[in-house]
Structure 1
Amino acid sequence: MTQYDSARDQFAQWGVDTDAALAQLAKIAISVHCWQGDDVRGFERRTGSSGGGIQATGDHPGRARTPDELRADLEFAFGQIPGQHRLNLHACYLDTDQTPERDELDLSHFTPWVDWARDQGLGLDFNPTFFAHAKADDNLTLSHPDAGIRDFWVEHGRRCRDIAAGMGAALGSSAANNIWVPDGYKDTPIDRMAARRRLEQSLDRMLADPLDPAHMRDAVESKLFGIGVEACTIGSHEFYMGYAIRKGLMLCLDMGHFHPTESVADKLSAVALSVDELLLHVSRPMRWDSDHVVTLNDDVLAVAQELVSAGLLGRTRIGLDFFDATISRTAAWVIGTRNMQKALLRALLLPMDQLRSAENGLDFTTRLIVTEEFHDLPFGAVWQEFCARHDVPNGQALLGGLDSYQRGVATSRNA
C-alpha cells in the first residue's frame, strides 16, 4: 500500500473522496502575476517616471531584463506547478520595438505574449498600468483635477480593455481586466466628494463601450491606503463595491488592501450576494500591503475554505499579487502558487456535509472536534499524489530544480 492509498482510506473514513478532490483541484486555474519576475519594472522604453508607491525590495541576482527572459522564467516556473494556469500581465510589459505612450497602446504591442500563451496553453489576464508614469506623479490619475490628465488615463484604460478583449478572443478564454489606480492624498483633503465624483465619471467614460464578456470581464480593485496617499484613498472598498454592484462588474479583493485585522475570507460570501463574479488577489501582507510571497498561513487557508464552503469556486477568479526581490523570483512564483493550491486542496478535503449539518443543528462541539481532528490527517500524501499525477517535482527534487535554475540565471544575467 502506498502513502496515498493509506491517506485515501483515512479520508474515506470521514466520507471524503480524495480522488474527487484532486480532480476538482486540477480544474482550478490560478493567474500568476508577471511582475514578480522583474520587480515591477516593466519593459517600456522610456525613463524618468515615478514608481507610484510600487516598490520591490532586495537585489537578488537573476532579475529578468527582457520579455524573452521573463517568459523563460515563467516557463520554468509553470513547469514546477501542477495543473494548467494563467498569466496576469500588466500594460507596462509590452513587447515591441516601438515606443508607444500608454494612451497609444494596442494589441499589436503584446502579440509575442499572445503567441507565447497560445503555445503554452495558458490564458491571459490584463491590467492597465496607472502608476510609474510622469502623469501619475501626483498620485492622481482618473480623479486628477486636470481634465487633460484624466483624458490621458481614460484613453489608456479604454485601450487596455480592447487589448484584454483581444487576448481573450485570440486564446478562447475570457480575460480579467483589472482596474486599480493609486489615486489619493497624503494629507487630509477638504473635498473627498469632488475627487470621487471625478473618479466615477472617468470610470464611466472608460467603461462606456460594451465588450463581449466571453472575451473580457472588467474588475475594479480597492485599497485601504498607499505610500503617499496615507490620508485618503479615493478608490476605497466602499466606493468600488458600490460601483461594481451598480455597473455589474467584477470586484477585486486584494488580501493586502485592507486593515490587518480585517478578514478577506469573511468578505467573500457577503460580497457574493451582490456581485456575480469575484476576483481575488492572494498575497501576504506582513505589514499591511507588503506583498510577501504567499505561505500556507491561516489567512490563505481561511480564504480557500470560504471559497469551497460558500460554493464560490465557479464565481471567483484567483490571482496572485506579491513581489519579493530578496529571494529567487522564479522560486517565489512556484512557492506562492503551490501554497494557494495546497490551501484549496485542504478545503476540498474537508467533510463539508458533516460540518454543515453540525452547524445547522447548532452542534458547535462536533464542528470544532471535526475541524481539529482533520489537522492530523495526511494532507501531504494527497498533495504528493497530485504533483505525481501532473509530473512535477516535490520535496528535495523541487528544491534541487529551483536552486539549479537560479544558479543558471544568476550567472548568465549578472556576468
Structure 2
Amino acid sequence: MQVNQIASFQMAKELYASHGIDVEKALEALAQVKVSMHCWQGDDVRGFLNRDQELTGGIAVTGNYPGAARTADELRQDLEKAFSLIPGKHKVNLHAIYADTDERVELDQLAPRHFAKWVEWAKEQGLGLDFNPTCFSHQKSADGFTLSHPDPQIRQFWIDHCKASRRIGAYFGQELGQTCVTNVWVPDGYKDIPVDRMGPRRRLKESLDEIFAEQLDPALHLDAVESKVFGIGSESYVVGSHEFYMGYGLQNNKLICLDAGHFHPTETISNKLSSLALFAEGMLLHISRPVRWDSDHVVIMDDELLDIARELVRHDLLSKTHIGLDFFDASINRVAAWVIGMRSTLKALLRAMLEPTELLRQVELAGDYTTRLALMEEFKSYPFGAIWDFYCAKNGVPVREAWLPEVKAYEKEVLSARGSKLGEAKKLV
C-alpha cells in the first residue's frame, strides 16, 4: 500500500469521524457482504447443455465482442480473473444450463453430480454458489409457457426440473457451508391480450406448490420467486407478475426477488424495500441497469443503485437481503463487465455505510428538513473514494482503474485466442 493512499485514508477517516462515522466498522460490515456474480455474463447465456438451442424466453444479448467462454473451464478461468480484481469473497450464480458434465442429460434429470466440478472449484476459491432452474431456451418452452403450460405433461417436465434444481441448490449449501438461494423465474406470458388471466396463474401456483412440497434445510437452501412486468413475446400479459409472486412469497415464506429491470421503466425497486421488508421472510435483489426497458446494461453507480444501497444500509436490511447481479453485454470485454458491475455495487454500499444515518434521522424527526437536505447534498462529495482505495489495497486488488490494464492483458493473452461469435446471441431479460 502506497504512503499517499494511507495518508488520504487517514484524512478521510478523521473527517468522517467528526460526524460520528466509524470507518473501520463500515469496512468490516462491507467485508461481510457477499454479492452473487452471475455466470451468464461470461458466455452470453449460452450454457453448456443444448448450446445449439436458439435462445428464447424474451432473451436478447447484443454484441460480438471476442472472447466469450465456450467451456466450463474457460468460464471458471474468466470468473477467477474477475474475482482477482474485486475486493472481498463472494458467490457465483449458476443457471441449470451450466452443468459441467459429459453426460447427455435432460433438464428434468439433472442431479448434483452434474455440478460436482463447480463445487470442487468453489471450494478451492472460497466461494459460495447460488442456483436457478433454466426455464427457457428449450423445445418444451418454445410456445412461451413452462410452469403454467396447459399441457400437463409439459408442465410436469418443468416441475420436475425445478425440483431437481432445488436439490442441486441444497447440495451446494451442504458442500460449501454457505446457504444457496435457488431462484425460480419463468417467461410465461402472452404477446397479445388474453381472455383467461386466472387460469395460467392458477396452474403456476399449483406447480409451485408441488415444487416446494419437499422440505429442505433453510440453513443450506432458500427458495426465491421472481416477477416481471413484461418481456419480448409477453408484452401484454405475464403470468408471474409482481402481485402474483409477492402474494405467493408472503403466503409461503419464500424470498421475493426484485429485479431492477423487471418493473415499469419509471418504477424503481429501491422504494419497495422498506415496505416489503416489513412483511417478507427475506428478499433477493437482482441488480441490473435497465435503459428504457429491461435491457440489462452493465451495472454502474447510478442514482438507483445508490438508493438501493442506502435503503439496505439505513434500515439494516443486509442481513435479510441476498444481492445478485443480472446483466449481460456482449459489446464490451465480458470480464471487465463483471468487474465494473461488482465494484460499482460494493462502492455504492460503502457510500451508504459512510453516511451520518443517525444524525439525518434525528434532524428529520425534529422537522429540520433544511439540515437534512444540506447534509445529504454535502456528503455526496465527501472523500469516500479514499476509503474505497484503502479497502481495495487492503484486499490485495488493484486500486482505482489499475485493474483495467490487467483485463486488457488477459484479453490479449487468453480471450483473443477464442475468437468472436457469429452474429448476435440473445440474452436473458
Aligned length: 415
Partner of 2:326: 321
Which amino acid in structure 2 is aligned with residue 283 of structure 1? Answer: S
Q: Secondary structure at the match of 1:155?
A: helix
Given the alignment, which residue of 128, 137, 140 partners 1:132? 137
Partner of 2:74: 69
TM-score w.r.t. length of structure 2: 0.95
Determine if the alignment matches structure 1 residue 96 to structure 2 residue 101: yes
Contact kept, 8 Å, 1:36 with 1:322, in 2: the verdict is yes
Which amino acid in structure 1 is aligned with residue 233 of structure 2? Answer: G
Would the alpha carbon gap of residues 396 and 253 (structure 1) be closer, same or farther in structure 2, given more than 3 Å must change? closer
Report Cα offsets for 1:322-361 as digits up to 9, x if no partner: 0000000000001100000000000000001101101111
Give structure 1 regions of 4+ aligned residues with deviation exceeding 6 angstroms: none
Which amino acid in structure 1 is aligned with residue 330 of structure 2? Answer: A
Partner of 2:274: 269
Partner of 2:312: 307
Q: Secondary structure at the match of 2:49?
A: coil
Determine if the alignment matches structure 1 residue 182 to structure 2 residue 162: no
Give the Cα–Cα distance (whole angstroms) in 1 for the partners of residues 283 and 401 of structure 2.
36
Contact kept, 8 Å, 1:50 with 1:137, in 2: the verdict is no
Contact kept, 8 Å, 1:165 with 1:215, in 2: the verdict is yes
Partner of 2:295: 290
Q: Secondary structure at the match of 2:414?
A: helix
Partner of 1:116: 121
Deviation at 1:274, TM superposition (A): 1.0
Would the alpha carbon gap of residues 186 and 79 (structure 1) be closer, same or farther in structure 2, given more than 3 Å must change? same
Give the Cα–Cα distance (whole angstroms) in 1 for the partners of residues 105 and 223 of structure 2.
23
Give the Cα–Cα distance (whole angstroms) in 1 for the partners of residues 24 and 249 of structure 2.
37
Given the alignment, which residue of 21, 26, 34 partners 1:29? 34
Determine if the alignment matches structure 1 residue 335 to structure 2 residue 340: yes
Deviation at 1:224, TM superposition (A): 0.6
Give the Cα–Cα distance (whole angstroms) in 2 for the partners of residues 304 and 395 of structure 1.
20
Alignment of 1:120-269 (within 5 A): 120-269=125-274
Q: Secondary structure at the match of 1:253?
A: strand
Contact kept, 8 Å, 1:60 with 1:326, in 2: the verdict is yes
Which amino acid in structure 2 is aligned with residue 47 of structure 1? Answer: D
Contact kept, 8 Å, 1:49 with 1:134, in 2: the verdict is no
Partner of 2:369: 364
Determine if the alignment matches structure 1 residue 20 to structure 2 residue 18: no
Give the Cα–Cα distance (whole angstroms) in 1 for the partners of residues 23 and 327 of structure 2.
30
Deviation at 1:410, TM superposition (A): 3.0
Partner of 1:346: 351
Give the Cα–Cα distance (whole angstroms) in 2 for the partners of residues 327 and 101 of structure 1.
32
Alignment of 1:78-97 (within 5 A): 78-97=83-102
Deviation at 1:174, TM superposition (A): 0.9
Give the Cα–Cα distance (whole angstroms) in 1 for the partners of residues 355 and 171 of structure 2.
40
Give the Cα–Cα distance (whole angstroms) in 1 for the partners of residues 356 and 27 of structure 2.
15
Which amino acid in structure 1 is aligned with residue 43 of structure 2? Answer: D
Partner of 2:52: 47
Gaps of 5+ in 1: none
Would the alpha carbon gap of residues 396 and 219 (structure 1) be closer, same or farther in structure 2, given more than 3 Å must change? closer
Deviation at 1:411, TM superposition (A): 2.4
Report Cα offsets for 1:231-263 as digits up to 9, x if no partner: 000000000000000000000000000112112
Q: Secondary structure at the match of 1:88?
A: strand
Given the alignment, which residue of 384, 387, 392 partners 1:382? 387
Give the Cα–Cα distance (whole angstroms) in 2 for the partners of residues 407 and 241 of structure 1.
46
Which amino acid in structure 2 is aligned with residue 64 of structure 1? Answer: A
Report Cα offsets for 1:192-241 as digits up to 9, x if no partner: 00110011011111111111001100000000100000000000000000
Q: In terms of mean alpha carbon deviation, does 363-372 or 29-38 score higher?
A: 363-372
Q: Secondary structure at the match of 2:104?
A: coil
Q: Secondary structure at the match of 1:292?
A: coil
Contact kept, 8 Å, 1:45 with 1:99, in 2: the verdict is no
Which amino acid in structure 1 is aligned with residue 230 of structure 2? Answer: F
Gaps of 5+ in 2: 1-5, 421-429
Given the alignment, which residue of 7, 13, 18 partners 1:8? 13
Which amino acid in structure 1 is aligned with residue 18 of structure 2? Answer: Q
Q: Percent of aligned positions with the same letter in both sequences? A: 54
Which amino acid in structure 2 is aligned with residue 167 of structure 1? Answer: F
Q: Secondary structure at the match of 2:204?
A: helix
Contact kept, 8 Å, 1:49 with 1:137, in 2: the verdict is no
Report Cα offsets for 1:302-335 as digits up to 9, x if no partner: 0000001111011100000000000000000011
Give the Cα–Cα distance (whole angstroms) in 2 for the partners of residues 365 and 396 of structure 1.
37
Give the Cα–Cα distance (whole angstroms) in 2 for the partners of residues 7 and 310 of structure 1.
25
Report Cα offsets for 1:80-109 as digits up to 9, x if no partner: 000000000000000000010001100000
Contact kept, 8 Å, 1:50 with 1:134, in 2: the verdict is no
Q: Secondary structure at the match of 1:289?
A: coil
Q: Secondary structure at the match of 1:2?
A: helix
Which amino acid in structure 1 is aligned with residue 216 of structure 2? Answer: L
Which amino acid in structure 1 is aligned with residue 398 of structure 2? Answer: P
Q: Secondary structure at the match of 2:130?
A: strand
Which amino acid in structure 2 is aligned with residue 14 of structure 1? Answer: H
Give the Cα–Cα distance (whole angstroms) in 2 for the partners of residues 190 and 239 of structure 1.
18
Deviation at 1:20, TM superposition (A): 1.1
Give the Cα–Cα distance (whole angstroms) in 2 for the partners of residues 46 and 276 of structure 1.
36
Q: Secondary structure at the match of 2:78?
A: helix
* Bigger relative contact order (CA 8 A; separation at least 6): 2
